[in-house]
Amino acid sequence: MNGIGGTIAAMQINVSVLVEHIEDTSPRGIAAGIARLLKAGTISAGDRLPTVRDVSRALGVSPATVSGAWRALADVGLVIARGRAGTYMLPGRTSWLPPRYKSMNEAMEPAAIDLSTGTPDPTLLPSIQRTLTRAARTIAGADTDSYVAPPVLPQLEAVIRESWPFRPQRLTVVDGALDAIGRVLDQVTTFGDRIGVEDPGFPPIFDLLEQSGRDRFRIPLDAHGITVAGLSAALRHGVRAVVVQPRAHNPTGVSITATRARELAAVLRAHPDVVVIEDDHSGEVSVARDISIGNFLPDQVVRIRSYSKSHGPDLRIAAVGGPAIIIDPLVARRMLGPGWTSRLLQRLLFDLLTDADAIAAVSEARRVYYGRSHLLAAALTDLGVAVTPGDGLNLWVPVHDEDAALTRLAGAGVRVAPGSVFTIAPASAHIRVSVSRPVESIPELARILALAARP
């Protein structure tokens, strides 16, 4: 019998393996147990499930109960039935995600309160209804009359430049912050190069470096950003680029201070071939000052600003500004791929950046996120869990044991992100708690989190 692709021999899953890991024998509980085994790697895509009769006998339930579980797994795309040939496991629903992205986002069980994602609160995003209406009146269609027209609308570039923390030689827009980081890395580094990254840091950046064949070099953080000693060590070890989050650091909320930026620039000045990539992912919902190492070293810094948190992830627009020697080849290479970011979307962003109501909505979102994080941090601190609130949409919460905390929270119907996926070197246990979505009671949430954090 062949596997899913027709070439890999399928393995028959031992019914005792399933029984050992299924505590709830309802259809939902059986399905959830099998999903957990798939995620853990105990069973794999292509493996054949035992027969309904064998499982029902081993669990002491009716065949109808097991059939219900099989149907539930099929409904979510985890199994496929092949008649008399049996029922086979398919790849998990998030198998298309890179490994750390998957660990951050894949959920085995529904949660009443999901604090695992940094996706912005949709109720705090500016409405695009009027923006779309205005665009419909002024745009007959895709109004590009040339494939080699400038990739950025002049009016959008002008507005973005007004708020840029330093004067970049060139500015363009691409399809999101990670797209920008990947494209800049392609311009300034090559396979096997060593890249300095924050630890803790943003897991998809780790995935990006691994998939592109770059080598990570960890740079620790303190309350003021990456440390000078850590950067100096990275430079001694030959890093070709450094990726930093200048404010609203994910997951810690730390922002680089002006003094630290000046100190880092002083170290970097002796390494003119090293490029700093600044990922300003929270952009206009950040409350911290917009500090950039580019204020001191504009020829070595590429700044990226995302509008996903402030104006909506589906705009898929990030601005990229820096030296012409980096940005010009980036734009040229992009012309041999997507060409440019849709000018229709650029018009929408320009309207949102200049509309009074949209500006007010972003300002309100900034205030609300700040309030949520500081209220929750204060409530946790009162309960004995010392949390330092920072900027952005996340809190970095210390716990005694990560696995125990995640299990306790799951039992309480709360989902958070495991802290281990954000770290490179072994570190004290943490969880990342997002404040991007509202909760009914912050004191009650703090109580649940504090209980989960204890030994």
pLDDT in tens, 414-449: 999 999 999 998 888 999 999 999 999 999 999 999
pLDDT at 60: 92
Q: pLDDT tens-digit profile of 311-334?
A: 999 999 999 999 999 999 999 999
Banded model confidence at residue 94, pLDDT cuts 50, 70, 90 = low
- Is the distance from CB of 450 to CB of 414 less than 8 angstroms? no
Domain ranges of the chain: 15-89, 99-124+358-453, 164-338
CA-wise closest residue to 283 among 242, 247, 323, 312 = 247
Mean pLDDT over 241-256 rounds to 97
Domain boundaries 99-124+358-453, CATH class: alpha beta
Mean pLDDT over 142-165 rounds to 87
pLDDT at 224: 97
CA-wise closest residue to 293 among 255, 319, 329, 326 = 255
Q: Fold for 15-89, please state it.
A: Arc Repressor Mutant, subunit A (1.10.10)
pLDDT at 150: 87
| Distances from the Cα of 153 to the Cα of 57, 143, 268, 350, 374, angstroms | 67, 12, 33, 9, 38
On the CB side of 265, how many CA atoms lie within 13 Å of its CA?
Answer: 19
Task: Encode 194-226: b = buried (16+ Cβ within 10 Å), e = exposed.
Answer: bbbbbbbbbbbbbbbbeeeebbbbbbbbeebbb
Compute CA 269 distance to the chain's CA centroid, rounded to the nearest angstrom.
31
Q: At what angle do helices 63-75 and 27-40 cross, to 10 degrees?
A: 50
Please check the confidence at residue 141 and state whether its pLDDT lies above 60.
no
State both tokens at 107. Answer: 């959920």
pLDDT at 100: 66
- Is the distance from CB of 210 to CB of 191 less than 8 angstroms? no
**CATH code for 164-338?**
3.40.640.10
DSSP secondary structure code for residue 443 in this structure:
H
- Is the distance from CB of 392 to CB of 369 less than 8 angstroms? yes
The CA dihedral of 446, 447, 453, 455, to the nearest 10 degrees, is: 160
Q: CA 254, 259, 261, 265 torsion: positive or negative?
A: negative
